[in-house]
Amino acid sequence: MKDKIVMPLWTFGLFIVVMNTTMFNVSIPSIIKDIGVSTSFGSWIVSSYSIGYALSTLIYSRLSDVLTIRRLLSIGLIIFGVSSIFGIFATNFQTLLIVRIAQSAGAGAMPGLGLVIANRYIPYEKRGRAISMISAGSAMAFGLGPIFGGLISEYIGWNDLFTVSCIVLVLLPILFRLIPKEELKPFQFDMTGACQTVVNAVTLLTAVTQRSTAWLAIGLLSIAAHFWYIKHKKGSFINRELFTKPTYRKLLIVGFCILVLNLGNLFLMPLALANLFGKTPLAIGLTIAPGAVLSALLMLFVGRWIDQFGSVRFLILGHAILALVLIAFWADLGHSPTVLLFGYLFFSPALSVTLASLNYETSRILPSKLIGSGMGLMQLIQFFGGAFSVAVSGLLLEFQKKNPLVSSYENVYGVLIVVCIFSLITLLLYIKPVRQSGSLKNKLAEKERAQ
């Protein structure tokens, strides 16, 4: 595979898909006002896309074990592009929600299959650079997405945000020609397990957004039933062998927490800028953009550093910077929009470095036979964390209607600080046995050389 051509093109496709999230994040205040829904319902415009994105990412990753990447990519991008065309004409909440869910069903092809391609066709010594390039595409989307979202929402209308997403239909035939041909394998897809995964995610998010103990009970029962199914089903949709690896389980927790921080912050920042400082969608985009663009530029070098020095130290550094920025937001959010501008200059690069390092570390500890299912599940957990974060953040703001706005936002940032600290503790618990294992391997190698 000509990775010097394929990976930049793939990164551009991922850029469009991720920007489909960030454009809507900035435009949430305008959409909520135009369609006349509450903040908690409006958060579903983002969270429904995030959870569908996560589920489809896992499905495409899992299917790559039995179907060709070219076929899966074609299905995904056609679904994403066609649903984007319908989104241009959406005029109410119900239609908009359906279109966003349909978009998410196709969007997962880009992140899920991108990591599979990187691990399947790119040599290990260059893999960090490939994964970082994918992360750079996401980071650039976080930078330019708010600008495009602000410009389009302010001067044209939020419906035309969907027009940008239609670009993937042009990209599809080019990638289709460049991706290596693969042989079909015996098709054994666990549809029951896939449906159970969808039920788990939807019921839990419904429980959160609707504040329903009944839905929570249904969600917990569905998860218990799914775990029983995974334990007894051979070749289940979520590979049960993954859960036997303590190191992988810890990384899943870290992945969940990191996306809680990312989507939670990107949900709060536009609301704070609009409601505390009266910023327009364009001004919001221009406030967020510098940090994200800086992040994308930094990722051009981070991949080489990860290949050279490993990913663990960057995971720790990223967590430390994220915690400091969140503390700054919690302590001084209402002072000036400049606090958010400069804070995001550090937050976005730290987040991108952390995610790239996490994906690299995950691919490093998994055997080749588990790469597809393992990376897919990691993506699912990450984006479920993002969807959960947006839903919970919306609810926490609803609960604090009687409080001053600045206090409400700062309280939610306080919750994000706790999540960041928990993630860092989990990471430290992961590092200790990994280092001990590495030290033991080195001692055995030295003993063998001595003999």
Q: Which SS3 state, helix, strand or coil, does residue 47 take?
A: helix
What is the token pair recorded at 316? 């720790």
Averaged pLDDT, 370-391: 78
CB 380 within 8 A of CB 56: no
Share of the chain above pLDDT 90, in %: 14
pLDDT value at residue 182: 73
The rounded distance, in Å, linking the Cα atoms of 424 and 257 is: 9
Q: Do 211 and 163 have their domain in common?
A: no
Residue 122 lies in a domain: yes
CA nearest neighbour of 391 among 37, 40, 78, 52: 40
Q: Do 248 and 340 have their domain in common?
A: yes
Residue 144 lies in a domain: yes
Confidence tier at 328 by pLDDT (50, 70, 90) = very high
Q: Do 415 and 431 have their domain in common?
A: yes
Q: Do 289 and 218 have their domain in common?
A: no
Residue 190 lies in a domain: no
Confidence tier at 449 by pLDDT (50, 70, 90) = very low
Residue 427 lies in a domain: yes
Whole-angstrom CA distances from 28 to 15, 25, 149, 405 are 20, 5, 10, 17
Residue 189 lies in a domain: no
pLDDT value at residue 254: 95
The rounded distance, in Å, linking the Cα atoms of 179 and 184 is: 15
Domain span including residue 108: 3-180+237-446
Q: Do 150 and 291 have their domain in common?
A: yes
Q: Do 228 and 245 have their domain in common?
A: no
**Triad 333, 336, 338: Cα angle to 5°:** 100
Residue 188 lies in a domain: no
DSSP string, 268-296: HHHHHHHHHH---HHHHHHHHHHHHHHHH
CATH at 78: 1.20.1250.20
Q: Do 168 and 42 have their domain in common?
A: yes
Confidence tier at 185 by pLDDT (50, 70, 90) = low
Residue 12 lies in a domain: yes
| Residues in contact with 45: Cβ distance below 8 Å, sequence separation at least 6, in sequence order | 24, 28, 31, 96, 97, 100
pLDDT value at residue 78: 92
Numbers of helices and strands, H then E, in the chain: 16, 0
The total number of structural domains in the chain stands at 2
Q: Do 203 and 343 have their domain in common?
A: no
What is the token pair recorded at 244? 């036997």
Q: Do 386 and 435 have their domain in common?
A: yes
Q: Do 208 and 331 have their domain in common?
A: no
Residue 371 lies in a domain: yes
pLDDT in tens, 150-181: 778 777 877 888 888 888 888 888 888 888 78
Q: Do 280 and 144 have their domain in common?
A: yes
Confidence tier at 39 by pLDDT (50, 70, 90) = low
Residues in the chain: 451
pLDDT in tens, 304-319: 788 778 788 899 999 9
Q: Do 369 and 242 have their domain in common?
A: yes
pLDDT in tens, 342-352: 999 999 889 88
